[in-house]
Amino acid sequence: MSDLKKRYDALVIGGGIAGMQAALDLGEQGYQVLLVEKDPSIGGVMVGLNKVFPTLDCSSCICTPRMAESAHHPNITIQTYSEVLDVADNGLGFKARVLVKPRYIVEADCIGCSQCELACPVDVPHEFEYGLGARRAIYIPHANAIPQLATLDVEHCTFCGKCAKVCPADCVDYTQEPETVEVEAGTVILATGLQITPMDSKAEYGAKDYPNVMNPLGMERIQSSNGPYGRPLRPSDGKVPKSVAYIQCAGSRDKSIGVPYCSRVCCMYALKQALLLKHYIHDVDITIYHMDIRAFGKGYEQFYRRVKDEGVNIVKGKVAKITEVENRDLVVRVEDLSGGGKVMEYRHEVVVLSQGLIPGWTPNGVVDVQLGEDGFIKTTQPKLRPSVTNREGVFIAGVAAGPKDIPDSIVDAGAAAMEAANYLESIRYREATRVPAGAV
């Protein structure tokens, strides 16, 4: 099933924006790169965002060219729907075992026509839509997926066989099984990205029970024109929301949930989403409840002022509790420090929790690198060489090292690629074992 080569110059774990950037920076220098991604498509979180701050560029419009470039680069091999099981020293570099999960389709023959998905009778909550929308048991992850291949989620399969019957390329292959492949690489870059703080971290916010308490990445999806609803609507009943609240620091700066640090991007993504909602729904009332507004980057302060000027209410106060009332509306209880310090209750139709960022993956049992107190992979020289781990030859890029926005992730990835390239050259890897382009 897998046609991976035996040896690469670099193994990049994680196919999000940082992983792709690191792979491209190495590939452009002539190094052979294997990019392993656990999901069926590369692109990470960024490809699912609506727009990016502060430029309001379409996120998938700027991410998909990088995805295409990575997929078509002569020096980069992408291996999706696969996981790295372990990475060990082998004298000249590293030896890694990669689990290639079966898609149950012959990849070389699949034309991405979606006929299998249309024929499948099972609707499943779609991970890409953060559960708000559906996919089928056999599915193409999204319109921008690379590779644009079907994947059969056998856990939700009814074994009806309809997908194989309708496939015009006759490429459904129910006989596939997981395969473990060994590869060698001179260096490893960890670009394993993020996940958000679990929505049920604070029971007081009711995310487990109240459908209109929303995941911020779910809000990105419903704001997207190719999202689960086609337009921003309320999850409980499809209503066009007229009052939306954002709760800042809902999943950060909170020792009680084990996330004491600031996640850096939440203020900006809340401001961005609020501004865009104002554009999509002209008469919507939006309030952002915050402890502080952190607009640290280039153009960010100006963006914050623009959002205020366009009528988004900014209220200083940490929300203590959210309660559901009739019609599945929500009441936010907050000490309104902007309004004299009184405890107030405000009613909204949708509440978005601005959750924080936590590591998307743990290296425990896979790669022997140290973790910091915050749970992210530790950089041993955070000021001067922020891509370096405690393990020689293993580097990190992007949010794997700590919360950061997209520009910082890309800069980080470039730094990691440079460190990796320097490492490969310094151990005379090129002379001994560098894999020439086209070698098997």
Contact footprint for another protein (CB under 8 A): 104, 106, 108-109, 118, 121-123, 132-134, 136, 154-161, 164, 170-171, 173-175, 211, 228-230, 233, 235-240, 242, 328
CB of 209 to another protein, least distance (A): 11
Distance, CA of 411 to CA of 389 (rounded, Å): 17
Q: 70 vs 223, which CB is nearer to another protein?
A: 223
Q: 162 vs 333, which CB is nearer to another protein?
A: 162
Residue 110 three-state SS: coil
CB of 290 to another protein, least distance (A): 28
Q: 160 vs 432, which CB is nearer to another protein?
A: 160
Q: 193 vs 241, which CB is nearer to another protein?
A: 241
Distance, CA of 276 to CA of 352 (rounded, Å): 14
CB of 138 to another protein, least distance (A): 12
Q: 245 vs 417, which CB is nearer to another protein?
A: 245
Which parts of 14-61 are beta strand (E)?
33-36
CA distances from 14 to 18, 83, 85, 217 (A): 8, 9, 13, 19
CB of 237 to another protein, least distance (A): 4
Q: 94 vs 104, which CB is nearer to another protein?
A: 104
Tokens of 197: 């703080």
CB of 99 to another protein, least distance (A): 17
With CA atoms as reference, report the closest residue to 147 among 203, 71, 201: 71
Q: 162 vs 306, which CB is nearer to another protein?
A: 162
Q: Identify the H or E element spanning 218.
A: helix 216-223
Around Cβ 146, how many Cβ atoms within 10 Å? 24
Distance, CA of 400 to CA of 424 (rounded, Å): 22
CB of 228 to another protein, least distance (A): 6
Cβ pair 242, 281 in contact under 8 A:
yes
Cβ pair 343, 317 in contact under 8 A:
no
Q: Name the DSSP letter for residue 301.
A: H
Distance, CA of 300 to CA of 303 (rounded, Å): 5
Tokens of 250: 């809902």
CB of 50 to another protein, least distance (A): 17
